[in-house]
Structure 1
Amino acid sequence: MHVPDGFITAPVSAAAAVVAAGAVAVSLRGARRELGSERAAPLAGLVAAFVFAVQMLNFPVAGGTSGHLLGGALAAILVGPYTGVLCVSVVLLMQAILFADGGLTAIGVNIICMAIVTTVVAYAVFRGLVKVLPRTRRSVTAASFVAALVSVPASAIAFTLLYAIGGTADVPIGKVAAAMVGVHLLIGLGEAVITALTVGAVLSVRPDLVYGARGLERGLKLRVNGELVDAPEPEPSSVPVTARSPRRVWITGLVASLVLAGGVSFYASGYPDGLEKVATDHGIDEKAEEHDAADSPLADYGVKNVEDARLSGGLAGVIGVGVTVVAGTGVFRVVRRRRSGETSETAPPAHTTTNRNTDSNSNSNSNSNS
């Protein structure tokens, strides 16, 4: 659903870029709270790389149309809504600059539709469901499915509204809305399956790494005289507990991303995606413009001058995953360091109490000497 240059007028595209920039700025601030631990930055970078990889896997839907993961729901549930917006935004920037996928002037439109709307809608639906469903891992997975399903047509509606304001072709907006929502409901089913499977897989091995599942653990119950009562809290151990390293999950996720982008993507559907199909059928693409990076060495997800299609696409996918994980991790490390810096600035000086104790001891000693 990457919007190319020329679909939306320049003034509306510029306004969308301003809105997107403001949302990203808010997300940078919010992500400081979500990236609480040192391990959070590389995990968020991995989520961005995984979204990039799975977006290369177009799956067929009805009528010679394909779809692919948008990723907002998956990112929000795994690493938090603010960080999720940043994850998908990093992916969109890498795709537009390196792979000529999604217009450069339309980057604000794409961030609004694919990063902001999907993440906000999905996480709102997800949080609403987990509040009313039983507090189990299955409920988290089910809520992930529904949230992802709803987020995709919501993104289609967002594009339709922007097109109604600044579309460059004279097309009946009612037909555009019906076509966009209809096909993206089908694509949403694929998004829901991918999101639920991924969230369920992480929950099964490391539920502590799923942001959306925090605080959902049910306390241990004991049956006493036929009634369930809360079990007493275990006594704290004198031996410090070291948190389990997420390194194995990170390595597994990175390998999976490389395999998907470098190998499985060759077998992705060649049908046009939902937006491309609607644009062709309804004349939206009449004023589409050639991408400014069309001559990029990685344009159209292939390495320039590599004639073997399988090798060219596989190398492009591997490069994309590598660049995205490095760029994403770098962004999130900077965000987390700024959070750490703000925390240290607001903390009271550590030497205050020491000085008072020293002064008190000095006074005592002087009194004793006198």
Structure 2
Amino acid sequence: MHVPDGFIDAPISAATGVVAAGAIAVSLRGARRELDERTAPLAGLVAAFIFAVQMLNFPVAAGTSGHLLGGALAAILVGPYTGVLCVSVVLLMQGILFADGGLTALGVNITDMAITTTVVAYAVFRGLVKILPRTRRSITAASFTAALLSVPAAALVFTLLYALGGTTDVSLGKVATAMIGVHVLIGIGEAAITALTVGAVIAVRPDLVYGARGLEQRLKLRVNGELVDAQAPLEPATPRTSRRKLWIGGLVASLLLAGFVSFYASSNPDGLEKVAADQGIDQKAKEHASADSPLADYGVRDVDDARLSGGLAGVIGVGVTVVAGSGVFWAVRKRRSTSQAA
């Protein structure tokens, strides 16, 4: 759902840029409370994993594909404020290095793909875990539902932004119907990826899943002949996998997904591209400012072999994203430590 330059006019693009900047500033402050010495390294890895999985377009309908947006996954794993920063880092790397998502539309993309998905998903997730049985399965189920709803929510926000600043005269009713319809289908893929990933991390290190913190399952104890509620922590007392092994495993998985599996991704246009072509939204689309980047379109310039070119681009993207993300979150964590010391 990366919005190119030219879809949204300058005033609305500028307004969303202000919104995005404000949200990032708030998220930088909020992330200080979410990140600690255990989770700060994980946040950079989450950004790299989202970058890798976004390269894996999956077919959803005739001639249309979809890919992970990542807001739900990031919010549940590392927290909503940190989640906004994770997806924003990914969007920035994609826009600058890979010519994916317009630079003048960066505010639109952050507002839509980072802020909307994270806020909607985490609100739904927290609401569900309060009413569902307090088990690991409930976290996975809540993750699935939250991710599923976050994608059409992003499609709706794009439609609203287009209604305010669209550069072509098209039927907004048709745009809304097409956008929300196809992104409901994409949301199913998003939900499956999110639930599987959250479930996998919970299986080995539930203490590192932000959305699982504080969750407890109720047990019954007999006290003086009466059954009373007792609290048993969801997390095991002794984690089965070290943070280092988890981080290395996640990085290796990201590199394999971006460097190898991405070659087999669907080549069909994603939901926004398909709707834009069908409805005429793309009539005034502009060439990307980084169109001549050596990594534009997720390929390495002058490497003729398509498999090798795409694989190298994916590996480079994962590497750059994990370094950039880890640097941001290390700085946020250091700022928190400095503030506490003062």
Whose Rg is larger?
1
Aligned to 2:76: 77
Structure 1 residue 208 corresponds to structure 2 residue 207: yes
Q: SS of 2:216's equivalent? A: coil
Aligned to 1:50: 49
Aligned to 2:235: none
Query: What's the offset of the Cα at 1:339?
Result: 1.1
Q: Structure 1 pair 9/231, CA: closer, same or farther in 2 (3 Å)?
A: closer
Structure 1 residue 17 corresponds to structure 2 residue 14: no
Paired letter, 1:113: D
- TM-score, normalised to structure 2, is 0.95
Stretches of structure 2 that go unaligned for 5 or more consecutive residues are 233-237
| Structure 2 counterparts to residues 187-266 of structure 1, below 5 A | 187-218=186-217, 221-222=220-221, 228-229=227-228, 245-266=242-263
Residues in 2 aligned to 1:140 and 1:159: alpha-carbon distance in whole angstroms: 29
Aligned to 1:336: 333
Structure 1 residue 283 corresponds to structure 2 residue 271: no
Q: SS of 1:218's equivalent? A: strand
Q: Structure 1 pair 229/314, CA: closer, same or farther in 2 (3 Å)?
A: same
Paired letter, 1:51: I
Residues in 1 aligned to 2:8 and 2:163: alpha-carbon distance in whole angstroms: 9
Aligned to 1:299: 296
Q: Structure 1 pair 227/314, CA: closer, same or farther in 2 (3 Å)?
A: farther
Residues in 1 aligned to 2:5 and 2:97: alpha-carbon distance in whole angstroms: 15
Paired letter, 1:12: I
Contact (CA 8 Å) 2:163, 2:172: kept in 1 or not?
A: yes
Give a deviation string over 1:215-237, Cα, whole Å, max 9, x none: 1122554457986445699xxxx
Query: What's the offset of the Cα at 1:302?
Result: 0.3
Q: SS of 1:248's equivalent? A: helix
Q: SS of 1:272's equivalent? A: coil
Query: What's the offset of the Cα at 1:344?
Result: 1.4
Q: SS of 1:61's equivalent? A: strand
Structure 1 residue 4 corresponds to structure 2 residue 7: no
Matched-pair identity in %: 80
Paired letter, 1:212: G
Aligned to 1:63: 62
Residues in 2 aligned to 1:29 and 1:219: alpha-carbon distance in whole angstroms: 34
- TM-score, normalised to structure 1, is 0.88
Aligned to 2:30: 30
Query: What's the offset of the Cα at 1:340?
Result: 1.2
Q: Structure 1 pair 192/231, CA: closer, same or farther in 2 (3 Å)?
A: closer
Query: What's the offset of the Cα at 1:94?
Result: 0.2
Residues in 2 aligned to 1:63 and 1:340: alpha-carbon distance in whole angstroms: 52
Paired letter, 1:267: Y
Mean alpha-carbon deviation: is it higher for 212-221 or for 66-75? 212-221
Q: SS of 2:23's equivalent? A: helix
Query: What's the offset of the Cα at 1:245?
Result: 3.9
Aligned to 1:322: 319
Q: SS of 1:306's equivalent? A: coil
Contact (CA 8 Å) 2:202, 2:209: kept in 1 or not?
A: yes
Give a deviation string over 1:111-166, Cα, whole Å, max 9, x none: 00000000000000000000000000000000000000000000000100000000
Paired letter, 1:98: L
Query: What's the offset of the Cα at 1:316?
Result: 0.3
Stretches of structure 1 that go unaligned for 5 or more consecutive residues are 234-240, 346-370
Count of residue pairs the alignment pairs up? 337
| Structure 2 counterparts to residues 124-143 of structure 1, below 5 A | 124-143=123-142
Give a deviation string over 1:257-283, Cα, whole Å, max 9, x none: 000000000000000000000000000
Residues in 2 aligned to 1:242 and 1:250: alpha-carbon distance in whole angstroms: 14
Aligned to 1:364: none
